[in-house]
Amino acid sequence: MKSAKSLTGYAFSLPALLLYLPFVLLPFVGTASMSLFNWTEAQKPVFTGLSNFQIVAASPELKQSLFNTVFYLVATIGLEVCGGLVLALLLRGGVSGAKVYQGLFFAPVILSMTVVGLLWKFVLNPYFGLLNGVLTKLGWESLCLAWLGDTRTALLSVCFVSGWKYAGFYMVLFMAALTGIPKEVMEAALLDGTSAVGRAYHVTVPLLSKTWWLCVLLCATGAFQTFDLIYVLTDGGPHHSTEVVISWMIKVAFDRLHLGQGCAIAVLVTGIVLLLAVPYRLLSARKGAEL
Amino acid sequence: MRVQGLSRKASRLAASLGLLLFTGAVSFPVVWMGYSSLKTNVEIYQRPWGLPQNPVWNNLTEAWQVGSLGKYVGNSVLVTLSAVLLIVFAASLCGYACARLPFRGKTWIQSLFLLGLVLPIQAAVIPLYYLLKQMGLLNHRAALILPYAAWGLPIAMFIFRGFFAQIPKEYDEAGRIDGCGEFSLYWRIFLPLCKPAAGTVALFSALSCWNELLMAVLFVQDDALKTLPVGLLAFFGYRQADYSLLLAGLTLVTLPMLGVYFALQRTLMKGLTGGLGDLR
């Protein structure tokens, strides 16, 4: 009876494993091992030890794309996580129609990055875009720029588009956490005569620290996985000013066909993401949190 | 006390102002896209944000045809539907086994799936490309369906496991007395019970399959099989300067999505805050 049952356990897990092992885990074994080979499409792979890593490490493009990724990371934490927190606090302030606002702000989250990127390419278009149109109407013509075509503004513009899409996502996470704060705590602060800003700063924000760190983690690991938005908006340009690690990896592997080097970059990305995510997961598991 | 009331009024006003500002920032680009899609190219250039003088409704039908959007939507529907069915089936079976059946490899299987929650999908695409090539699957719908399903599994499995673990033991016993075998116990009793979990899983997986770009760009080059995001990019590539047409195409793709969203809003947000949304 017992062995029959355990056989059923294996049989039931089989379909999932048949998908998961070859299409999720095997590619990572592939990435790790092929990063040690000089692998181009035309020739047989030759074992070259760590030389791919040396080439990648010496490349000025690594520095540039890592810098851009970290810039994107910091900017999106500011725009999305802080923005989402502010929105959540504003909505908790007792405005009428909070549900409508919430629904509206979350809407861009479900749109694909492709659609969002293409839409914003129009909005930021230097000749007939909405943004420059508005600036002209306000008489600020000197501020009309080629937002995505200028090395000084391209990366920041990309970050703003990401912020436009995701602020609502973090807002919903913070809203959920805010409803978890006991009413008594808020009432006590109200009775003490604390102002709205003081209440937010001294009471609400510290109580949200768990959610805050989750959001920062999602944003940070998200930055090291960003591809879609860059691909649609700028393809890394102009002059690599918006190149992030993944867009660079794709170019190295699929345009220049240095597959081994591409895998070395992938190993680097995997390492960074795991380094960020695993300690958080372990810590929160120990504390008995859900996520 | 009066001062406090006043300051509360002021802060409420400031809050409303901030919210209205963000509402404008979120909705106006979409609204602008919608009405601009009814303009002519000349009008778009001359009056970037004016309303169309004579709405050209024809733009919409033309964009649908010229962009072959119907074909791409069809492909996306096929790929998404197949992947979602695979995810719901395989993840619920495995989640059921991990929650309710005693077997030795259980901890192992769960740790493997736990790993899948944190691994970056983008770092796997290079070997995955060559794996699919070896299997002869490149440029087939399966080149998207199978990886989408596989990558959707970890989170889905844990949602199902959590759900199945909550169901009381009596259901097992009742089923066994009725003479159910292991599979029919799962299929006839437990699967119908977990409809809400299956709904959440299906909704979130469908969304991420529908929107996926990287693998869709790499694994399918045949235009007849492209999914909507890649097809849309292709359309933008070969009609570069035809702005009214492109805006019309974009509008056609975006508005139905927003419609579906506003219809399913509650379920979506509940799924997200229920613990395990993975939209990012």
The answer to whether the CB atoms of A224 and B90 lie below 8 A apart is no
Over the stretch A186-207, which tens digit does the pLDDT of each residue have? 777 777 777 777 777 777 777 8
Chain A residues whose CB is inside 8 A of the B123 CB are 28, 31, 249, 266-267, 269-270, 273
Q: Is the pLDDT of residue B97 over 90?
A: yes
Helix, strand, coil share (%) of chain A residues, nearest 5: 75, 0, 25
Mean pLDDT of B24-39: 94
Q: Is the pLDDT of residue B49 over 70?
A: yes
Instruction: Reduce the secondary structure of B83-134 to three states and give it as a string.
Output: HHHHHHHHHHHHHHHHHHCCCCCHHHHHHHHHHHHHCCHHHHHHHHHHHHHH
Tell me the pLDDT band of B105, cut-offs 50, 70 and 90.
confident
A136 in any annotated domain: yes
Q: B247 with B37: CB under 8 angstroms?
A: yes
Residue from A264, A261, A269 nearest A69 by CA: A269
Q: Is the pLDDT of residue A58 over 50?
A: yes
Size of chain B, expressed as the number of residues it contains: 280
Over the stretch A235-259, which tens digit does the pLDDT of each residue have? 998 999 999 999 999 999 999 999 9
**Range(s) of the domain holding residue A196:** 59-257
Chain B residues whose CB is inside 8 A of the A167 CB are 22
Q: Is the pLDDT of residue A34 over 70?
A: yes
10 Å CB burial of residue B8 (0-12, 13-18, 19+) is middle
A138 in any annotated domain: yes
The arrangement of secondary structure in B60-276, i.e. its CATH architecture, is Orthogonal Bundle (1.10)
> Which residue in chain A is spatially nearest to B256 when comparing CA positions?
A111
Least CB-CB distance to B23: which of A30, A101, A227? A101
A28-39 burial, b for 16+ CB within 10 Å, e for fewer?
bebbbebbbbbb
Q: Distance (Å) from the C-alpha of residue B191 to the closest C-alpha of chain A?
A: 13
Residue A92's pLDDT is what? Answer: 83
Chain A residues whose CB is inside 8 A of the B125 CB are 27, 250
- Cross-strand bridge partners of residue A103: none
Rounded distance between C-alpha atoms, residue A233 and residue B73, angstroms:
22
> Best interface-test mutation with B: which of A114, A210, A225, A231 has the largest number of B CBs within 10 A?
A114
Least CB-CB distance to B273: which of A17, A110, A172? A172
ipTM: 0.90
A25 in any annotated domain: no
Mean pLDDT of chain B: 89
Q: Is the pLDDT of residue B26 over 70?
A: yes
Rounded distance between C-alpha atoms, residue B67 and residue B61, angstroms:
10
A167 in any annotated domain: yes
Question: What is the β-pairing status of strands A37-38 and A46-47?
Answer: antiparallel
**Looking at the 3D structure of chain A, how many domains does it have?**
1
Q: B151 with B272: CB under 8 angstroms?
A: no
Q: Is the pLDDT of residue B43 over 50?
A: yes
Amino acid at B68: S
A92 in any annotated domain: yes
Q: Is the pLDDT of residue B188 over 90?
A: no
> Best interface-test mutation with B: which of A5, A13, A82 has the largest number of B CBs within 10 A?
A13
Chain B CB within 8 Å of residue A129 CB = yes
10 Å CB burial of residue B210 (0-12, 13-18, 19+) is buried
Element (DSSP H or E) covering residue A37: strand A37-38
B252: left (phi over 0), alpha (psi -120 to 50) or beta: alpha
Residue A114's pLDDT is what? Answer: 95
Least CB-CB distance to A19: which of B27, B124, B149? B149
Q: Is the pLDDT of residue B278 over 50?
A: no
The answer to whether the Cα torsion of A169, A175, A176, A177 is positive or negative is: positive
The residue with tokens 């495995």 is B94
Mean pLDDT of B129-146: 95
Residue B279's pLDDT is what? Answer: 45
Q: Distance (Å) from the C-alpha of residue A203 to the closest C-alpha of chain B?
A: 17
Residue A2's pLDDT is what? Answer: 56
Mean pLDDT of B68-84: 96
A262 in any annotated domain: no
Over the stretch A124-177, which tens digit does the pLDDT of each residue have? 998 888 898 888 888 888 888 889 999 899 999 999 999 999 999 999 999 888
**Phi, psi at A85, each rounded to 5°:** -65, -45
Q: Is the pLDDT of residue B275 over 60?
A: no
Rounded distance between C-alpha atoms, residue A30 and residue A177, angstroms:
40
A47 in any annotated domain: no
Rounded distance between C-alpha atoms, residue A219 and residue A214, angstroms:
9
Rounded distance between C-alpha atoms, residue A127 and residue B241, angstroms:
12
Q: Is the pLDDT of residue B169 over 90?
A: no
10 Å CB burial of residue A156 (0-12, 13-18, 19+) is middle
A201 in any annotated domain: yes
Rounded distance between C-alpha atoms, residue B211 and residue A60, angstroms:
33
Residue B277's pLDDT is what? Answer: 44
Rounded distance between C-alpha atoms, residue B63 and residue B134, angstroms:
37
CA distances from B162 to B16, B95, B105 (A): 40, 8, 18
> Which residue in chain A is spatially nearest to B161 when comparing CA positions?
A13
Chain A CB within 8 Å of residue B233 CB = yes
The answer to whether the CB atoms of A27 and B131 lie below 8 A apart is yes
Residue from B133, B197, B188, B117 nearest B161 by CA: B197
Mean pLDDT of chain A: 89
The CATH number of residue A228's host domain is: 1.10.3720.10
Mean pLDDT of B159-187: 86
Domain positions in chain B are 60-276
Residue A285's pLDDT is what? Answer: 66
Chain B residues whose CB is inside 8 A of the A90 CB are 15, 18-19
Rounded distance between C-alpha atoms, residue A214 and residue B277, angstroms:
13
Tell me the pLDDT band of B274, cut-offs 50, 70 and 90.
low
**Phi, psi at A47, each rounded to 5°:** -65, 125
The residue with tokens 């149109």 is A133
Rounded distance between C-alpha atoms, residue A250 and residue A257, angstroms:
9
B92-103 burial, b for 16+ CB within 10 Å, e for fewer?
bbbbbbbbbbeb
Tokens linked to B221: 């080059």
Mean pLDDT of B103-112: 90
Residues 6+ apart with CB under 8 A from B88: B156, B198, B201, B202, B205
Residue B4's pLDDT is what? Answer: 57
A239: left (phi over 0), alpha (psi -120 to 50) or beta: left
10 Å CB burial of residue B272 (0-12, 13-18, 19+) is buried
Residue B6's pLDDT is what? Answer: 66
* Chain A contacts in chain B segment 97-126 (CB below 8 A): 97-98, 101-106, 109, 112-126
Over the stretch A70-122, which tens digit does the pLDDT of each residue have? 999 999 999 999 999 999 989 887 788 888 999 999 999 999 999 999 999 99
Least CB-CB distance to B49: which of A16, A19, A133? A133
Chain A CB within 8 Å of residue B258 CB = yes
The residue with tokens 């996306």 is B76
Tokens linked to B118: 């944190």
Q: Which one of A89-93, B77-81, B108-112, B232-236 scores highest in mean pLDDT?
A: B77-81
A226: left (phi over 0), alpha (psi -120 to 50) or beta: beta
